Amino acid sequence: MSDFKVGQVEQPVNYQQKCCCVMVLDVSGSMSGDPIRQLNEGLQSFYEEIKNDPVSRDRLEVAVVEFSDKVNTLIDPSLIENFTMPTLSTKGTTALVDGVREGISIVKARKAWYKQTGQTYYRPWVILITDGAPDSGQEIDGLASEVRQAVADKDFVFFAVGVDGADMSVLQHISDPSMPPAPLNGLKFKEFFDWLSASMSAVTSSGDGDTINLPSPADWMKGFTI
């Protein structure tokens, strides 16, 4: 029995709505050795997952910011096909607040550009991964109120992940209660990035803006209980 013949069916070419995800990554001295190696592997794995997802690869724009005592934007918001994932190396101390601020300014600029050019977009994400405490002189309180206000205004989603040794109370302070920080279980970066690529896939497929059904973080989060 015949099916509908599709040989003559031509689909319109449409712009795919974008989602900007900025990764703010701690490359301070304490990340040397296993932590930075596992982080790099996790980043590569994330890159490959997104590349192989036919929806996310057209929708997800990734930016990478590394911070030690200086802040450095390695990748501006780009679709996967337009960049290769860099390999990070460790140096210096932990200008955490400066790093997150850079991440926030990237999503704000990207969102403004989407609006200016009439592009539809999903709420952007700022993801912080750190293993330590911020340098003294880093203004935590100011950052905390900025993040909470932005989350309340639905400007972006903020998510902090603490690697072994991270000061979780600082991360708790700067995070919005709707999305508390999560401790990474050991050095399960690959598992975290698998979850992140699945979550980004869920975000870029989501049906309405308020809550997204994210996959369970049980694989990578320490002490996760349902």
Partner 1 sequence: MALFILIQSVVYGKFPESLIKENKELKARIVTLERDNKILMIGGGFCLLLLSVGIVYSIMKKRQQKKNKKRQLTQTDSPELSMKNLITSDQWLVLAASVIGKAHVKMNLPCQDSHYKLPLENNWGIAVVCDGAGSAKNSQIGSVFIAKEAAPRYFKALVEREKWIEKKILPSSDKWDELARVELINCYGALKIFAEHRELDFSSLACTIIAVVYSPLGLLVTHIGDGRAGFKDKKWFPAMIPHKGEEANQTIFLTSKGWVNNPDLKLSGVSVPESRVITKPVEAFVLMSDGCENHSFKCSDFDEVNQIWTDPNIPSDTFFNPLIEQMPDLEKEVGQKINEKWEKFLENGLESLENEPDDKTMILGLKHGNL
The CA–CA distances, whole Å, from 205 to 2, 117, 174 equal 32, 22, 28
* Residue 121 sits in the site that holds partner 1 (CB under 8 A): yes
Q: Which stretch binds partner 1 (CB under 8 A): 65-73, 96-104, 130-138, 209-217?
A: 209-217
Q: Residue 84 is encoded by which pair of tokens?
A: 């290769």
Q: Judged by CB, which is closer to partner 1: 45, or 201?
A: 201
* Residue 4 sits in the site that holds partner 1 (CB under 8 A): yes
Please, what is the minimum distance in Å from the beta carbon of residue 197 to partner 1?
A: 12
* Residue 205 sits in the site that holds partner 1 (CB under 8 A): yes
Binding residue for partner 1, selected from 5, 136, 153, 223, defined by CB under 8 A:
5
| Total count of residues recorded for the chain | 226
* Residue 81 sits in the site that holds partner 1 (CB under 8 A): no
Q: Judged by CB, which is closer to partner 1: 15, or 225?
A: 15
Please, what is the minimum distance in Å from the beta carbon of residue 60 to partner 1?
A: 13
* Residue 208 sits in the site that holds partner 1 (CB under 8 A): yes
* Residue 11 sits in the site that holds partner 1 (CB under 8 A): yes
> Could you give the angle at which helices 96-116 and 140-152 cross, rounded to 10 degrees?
30
Please, what is the minimum distance in Å from the beta carbon of residue 79 to partner 1?
A: 16
Binding residue for partner 1, selected from 204, 217, 220, 221, defined by CB under 8 A:
204
Q: Judged by CB, which is closer to partner 1: 26, or 53?
A: 53
Q: Which residues bind partner 1 (CB under 8 A)?
A: 1-12, 14-18, 54-55, 116-123, 154, 198, 201-202, 204-213, 215
